[in-house]
Structure 1
Amino acid sequence: MNIVDNITSSLKYPLNDWVKILILTIISIIPIVNFISAGYMLRIIKSTLAGIDEVPGFDDLGELFIDGIKILIVSIVYMIVPLIIYFVALLPLMFTSDPYSMMSGLMSGLTIVILLIDIVVAIIFSLVLYPAIVNMALYDSELGAAFRFSEILDRIKAIGWGDYILWIIAIIVTSIVVGVILGIVGAILMIILIGFLVWFAMGAYLTMFQARSIGLLFSESME
């Protein structure tokens, strides 16, 4: 399955069960409870890797909630370095009292350089985050599996870095396009007061779409 087929198939996937989209929409707007959304994303990845085409259910909400917290932990760990660099970038600005002085200009320039480096570092870490979650799914939600870097890098190599980066670009572009379309539809439907529902459903739909897409991508690399 090429990238176009992957994206097309994944876009259709959530539409196989509108009730699941509605349930995930409701869950995603409730504070704390919305950790279940991330857990459900992991469940879709697991299901896809197992070769199941049916949209999974919401049984065992406790498991979904715990898996959601694990996804949050993994995301924080992978993004902690970019966050640290970001705060380091802001430090030079704290040592300048006169915004028009030469020193202020030098410090501002240093901040810009560090922020540019931070963007590169964040991109690198984000590229590894998706396959880290996939590796965790393969080991039945084992948290440590998300940090087995040699395995994670091997999974990316099995796909090919070029194809993987193309997939990343494709899924970002597709998500933006879908978001814009549903955003416009939601704005129009605000006239009959259901626009907010469409906006919330958009997040649920994109979660299911992205989870299915990454599951298909990595399942093919393991065949």
Structure 2
Amino acid sequence: MAFSDAFKRPFQDFKSLVIGIVIMLIPIVNFIGIGYLLNCAKSAVRRDYKLPVWGNWLDLFINGIVALVIGIIYMIPAMIVFALTIGFTILSGNYSALMGGNVMTLIPMLATAGIGMLVTVVVGIIFWLLGSAAIVRYAEKGNFGAAFELRAIAKKAFTGAYFAAWLVGTIYALVLGAILSFIPFLGSAIASFICGVTMMTLIAEAYGKV
């Protein structure tokens, strides 16, 4: 599948597109939309690029919540590194000297913050890749435990094809999200659904290749 096919997928069926946007507009109900994105991933793994039919609303809702939980769990390491960065940055400061006008005491704090943020970004990207692949695996297997089979997930996530798909999807989401942000209220819902379908299609297709 070419990347362009993933970009076109959300627009295959106008009715499904409108339903998705409306659902993404409503807090809590939008978990149904997230569950639908998992169905998009599940079908893409099998090389089926037709938009899934809306239905089984309760299952979609539950799967959406589970996907969010999986994503949060996988981002915990990055959160820990970020918290440690803040803590060590605070501890590295000589505040009495700083209050006395010695700005050179800022250097250790800035160095600590810079290194910590760099590590946070690297760890964040690593676990973002793992987390997205874990969500695709959950969509494929339908089993919560499958999302934490780290060896199998790492083999999928740490490949050139998967990284390329993830990077293209991320850039697309950032650009489209920025453009649609100028549409009050509705813009974020449109971006969430369109970018979600595209991203899940891209990474699931790459996941299925390995």
TM-score bin (small chain): 0.7 to 0.9
Matched, 1:53 2:49: yes
Quote the residue 1:202 is aligned against: 191
Quote the residue 1:163 is aligned against: 161
Quote the residue 1:108 is aligned against: 110
The one-letter amino acid paired with 2:43 is S
Quote the residue 1:38 is aligned against: 34
Matched, 1:216 2:191: no
Quote the residue 1:63 is aligned against: 59
Question: Does the CA-based 8 Å contact 2:133-2:157 persist in structure 1?
Answer: yes
Distance in 2 separating the partners of 1:57 and 1:176: 27
Distance in 2 separating the partners of 1:113 and 1:135: 33
TM superposition shift of 1:103: 4.7
TM superposition shift of 1:155: 2.9
Q: Percent identity?
A: 27
- Larger mean Cα displacement after TM superposition, 126-135 or 49-58: 49-58
Q: Report the TM-score, using the length of structure 1 for normalisation.
A: 0.80
Quote the residue 2:121 is aligned against: 119
Corresponding residue SS for 2:189: helix
**1:142-161 map, 5 Å:** 142-156=143-157, 161=159
Question: Does the CA-based 8 Å contact 2:166-2:202 persist in structure 1?
Answer: no
Distance 1:94 1:179, change over 3 A: closer
Distance in 2 separating the partners of 1:53 and 1:119: 33
The one-letter amino acid paired with 1:201 is I
Quote the residue 2:20 is aligned against: 24
Q: Report the TM-score, using the length of structure 2 for normalisation.
A: 0.85
Distance in 1 separating the partners of 2:151 and 2:88: 36
Question: Does the CA-based 8 Å contact 2:165-2:202 persist in structure 1?
Answer: no
TM superposition shift of 1:196: 4.8
Distance in 2 separating the partners of 1:199 and 1:150: 35
TM superposition shift of 1:145: 0.5
Distance 1:212 1:166, change over 3 A: closer
* Gap regions ≥5 residues in structure 1: none
TM superposition shift of 1:198: 4.7
* Gap regions ≥5 residues in structure 2: none
Residues 7-40 of structure 1: CA deviation (Å, up to 9, x unaligned): 1111111111111121111111211111222211
CA RMSD of aligned residues (A): 2.3
Distance in 1 separating the partners of 2:84 and 2:200: 33
The one-letter amino acid paired with 2:203 is I
Corresponding residue SS for 1:26: helix
Corresponding residue SS for 1:32: coil
TM superposition shift of 1:150: 1.3
Distance 1:50 1:167, change over 3 A: closer
Question: Does the CA-based 8 Å contact 2:23-2:33 persist in structure 1?
Answer: yes
**1:181-196 map, 5 Å:** 182-183=179-180, 187=182, 196=185
